[in-house]
Structure 1
Amino acid sequence: MVIFFNMVMVIMVLLSVLGAVIFLGSWAESGEGSSSSSYECGFDKGLFVRSPFSLRFFILTVIFLVFDVELVLLLPSVFLFLDFFSFSGLAGVGSFLLILYLGTIYEMSQGSLSWVCSAHT
Structure 2
Amino acid sequence: MNKIIMMIMLATVISTVLMAMCTIISKKSIMDREKMSPFECGFDPKSSSRMPFSIQFFLIAMLFLIFDIEIVIILPMVITLKYSVIYMWMSTVIVFMIILIVGLYHEWNNGVLEWAI
Q: TM-score of the superposition, structure 2-length normalised?
A: 0.58
- Structure 1 residues without counterparts, runs of 5 or longer: 1-38
Letter in 1 for 2:57: F
- For the pair 1:97 / 2:111, whether they are aligned, the reply is no
Inter-partner Cα distance in structure 1 for 2:84 and 2:114: 35
**Partners of 2:97 and 2:90 in 1: CA distance:** 10
Aligned twin of 2:48: 48
Q: Show structure 1 runs of 4+ deviating over 3 A.
A: 39-42
What is the SS of the residue equivalent to 1:82?
A: helix
Shift, 1:69, TM fit: 0.7
CA deviations 1:35-82 (Å, max 9, x no partner) are: xxxx994613xx326302010001000001101110111011011122
Residue 88 of structure 2 aligns with an amino acid whose one-letter code is: S
TM-aligned CA deviation for residue 84 of structure 1: 7.2
For residue 75 of structure 1, what is the amino acid of its counterpart? L
Aligned partners of 1:92, 1:81: CA distance in 2, in Å? 11
TM norm structure 1: 0.56
- Which one has a larger percent helix, Structure 1 or Structure 2? 2
Secondary structure at the aligned position of 1:43 is classed as coil
Greater C-alpha radius of gyration: 2
Please, what is the CA RMSD of the aligned residues? 2.2
Q: How does 1:42-121 map to 2 (within 5 A)?
A: 43-44=45-46, 47-48=47-48, 50-82=50-82, 86-117=86-117
Number of equivalences: 77
Identity of aligned residues (%): 31
